């Protein structure tokens, strides 16, 4: 069959849909920040964003920072991983292992389960070492693994701390409990591509008071402002604080969070029901008992070559731009690994390699119009029919 006539419609990789009421909210609250004349260091919007985000999660207290990478670093400093190894997936963005190195720990990679995209207990058991202190469980693409309960029990039976990298999983649930409330401490991202965003930003969430308090000090260069504003109390702090205007954007999204998630889930259902799946292209099945945050919508492809075929045909014939996949590159494979304290870069991670080679991500963002989503599906169905 010949390629469809070139489309007039372009579906971009990403676009943030701030509507008139969102812009009015931001204008009103930014004006209030400016009238107060107070932009950082204990401002009311950062405090409100933290409180409302924690309340929305339903468990724990939250501290706002400037990214998920720094949130992870602060968490790993709070639990003090110096002289210890930390288990992380190789199937993640490099921010996860980099945070371990930045906190003075050693990276131990582990493999995933292709059904959940998350660390598998079998691989954790295989890779763990006597000096291991923590596990960083990444909720890849907004999916929570149902094995989190077994992973948590195993961690606690060995005295390991379970950290959730929930950078991409705002609002994902496992049997009704939200990502960020399933382990001992969690990190979120508010980077502009994320489900909830402030452009750049992050959050640490935990119920452990001592970790919260030491994080509060470290994010402010080591100063505890409740004591005084000059004395640096720890040697490994940095400036990881969030700005008041950033927090206004955060407050907007935390108040819109349920609507944002509902729209993403509607789009996922549309894809699930309108794509002509066949032997070559299958949906990624979200595990039972969980609700994805749909940071990404994944297709499973039968052959690695199909990844590029689908991406280029959608771009060249239909002007449908696909977003980055999760993930095209494994961490242990990257050149920078040789310069970092990584203990097992040469281990085998077959499930991670399999997923790297057998998936493609479709456009998944709020504000995709019904015309655009229809164009994505009809274009993809044309491509699938010719495979």
Q: How far apart are CA 203 and CA 165, in angstroms?
A: 11
Show the site string, 30-69: x = touches ligand PLP by CB under 6 A, - = not. Answer: -------------------------------------xxx
Q: How far apart are CA 101 and CA 83, in angstroms?
A: 11
Show the site string, 132-151: x = touches ligand PLP by CB under 6 A, - = not. Answer: ------x-------------
Least Cβ distance, residue 195 to ligand PLP (angstroms)? 11
Q: Which of the residues 62 through 121 are near ligand PLP (CB under 6 A)?
A: 67-69, 92-93, 95-96
Angstrom CA distances, 220 to 69, 235, 336, stand at 16, 12, 29
Show the site string, 282-321: x = touches ligand PLP by CB under 6 A, - = not. Answer: ----------------------------------------
Least Cβ distance, residue 71 to ligand PLP (angstroms)? 8
Tokens standing for 322?
Answer: 């696909």
| Nearer CB in complex with ligand PLP: 147/281 | 147
Q: How many CB atoms lie within 10 A of CB 249?
A: 25
Q: How far apart are CA 93 and CA 138, in angstroms?
A: 10
- Does the footprint of ligand PLP cover residue 167 (CB under 6 A)? yes
Q: How many CB atoms lie within 10 A of CB 252?
A: 21
Least Cβ distance, residue 238 to ligand PLP (angstroms)? 14
Q: Residue 327: is the preceding peptide bond cis (ω within 30°)?
A: yes
| Nearer CB in complex with ligand PLP: 64/68 | 68
Least Cβ distance, residue 203 to ligand PLP (angstroms)? 10
By CB atoms closer than 10 A (0-12, 13-18, 19+), residue 51 is middle
Q: How far apart are CA 349 and CA 109, in angstroms?
A: 9
Residues that bind ligand PLP in the complex, under the rule CB under 6 A: 67-69, 92-93, 95-96, 138, 165, 167-168, 189, 191, 202
């Amino acid at each position: 069959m010949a390629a469809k006539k070139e489309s007039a419609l372009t579906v971009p990789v990403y676009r943030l849909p701030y509507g008139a009421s969102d812009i009015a909210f931001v204008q009103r609250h930014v004006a209030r920040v400016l009238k107060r004349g107070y932009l950082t260091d204990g401002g009311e919007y950062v405090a409100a964003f933290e409180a409302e985000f924690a309340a929305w999660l339903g468990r724990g207290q939250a501290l706002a920072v400037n990214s998920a990478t720094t949130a992870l670093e602060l968490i790993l400093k709070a639990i003090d991983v110096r002289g210890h190894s930390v288990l992380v997936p190789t199937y993640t963005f490099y921010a996860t292992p980099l945070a371990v190195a930045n906190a003075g720990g050693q990276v131990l990679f582990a493999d995933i389960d292709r059904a959940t995209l998350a660390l598998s207990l079998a691989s954790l058991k295989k890779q763990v070492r006597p000096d291991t202190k923590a596990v960083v469980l990444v909720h890849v693409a907004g999916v929570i693994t149902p094995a989190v309960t077994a992973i948590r029990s195993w961690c606690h039976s060995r005295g390991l701390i379970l950290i959730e990298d929930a950078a991409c999983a705002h609002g994902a649930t496992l049997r009704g409990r939200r990502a960020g409330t399933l382990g001992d401490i969690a990190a979120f991202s508010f980077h502009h591509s994320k489900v909830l965003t402030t452009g750049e930003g992050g959050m640490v969430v935990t119920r452990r008071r001592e970790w919260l308090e030491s994080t509060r000090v470290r994010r402010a260069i080591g100063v505890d402002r409740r004591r005084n504003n000059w004395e640096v109390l720890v040697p490994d702090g940095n400036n990881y604080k969030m700005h008041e205007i950033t927090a206004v954007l955060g407050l907007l999204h935390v108040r819109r969070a349920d609507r944002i998630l509902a729209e993403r889930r509607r789009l996922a259902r549309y894809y699930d029901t309108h794509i002509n799946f066949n032997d070559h292209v299958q949906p990624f099945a979200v595990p039972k008992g969980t609700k994805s945050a749909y940071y990404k919508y994944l297709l499973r492809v039968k052959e690695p070559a199909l990844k590029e075929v689908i991406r280029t045909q959608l771009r060249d014939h239909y002007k449908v731009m696909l977003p980055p996949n999760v993930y095209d590159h494994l961490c242990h494979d990257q050149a920078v690994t040789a310069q970092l304290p990584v203990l097992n870069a040469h281990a085998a991670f077959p499930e991670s390699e399999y997923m790297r080679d057998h998936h493609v991500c479709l456009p998944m963002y709020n504000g995709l119009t019904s015309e655009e989503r229809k164009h994505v599906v009809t274009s993809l169905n044309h491509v699938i029919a010719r495979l």
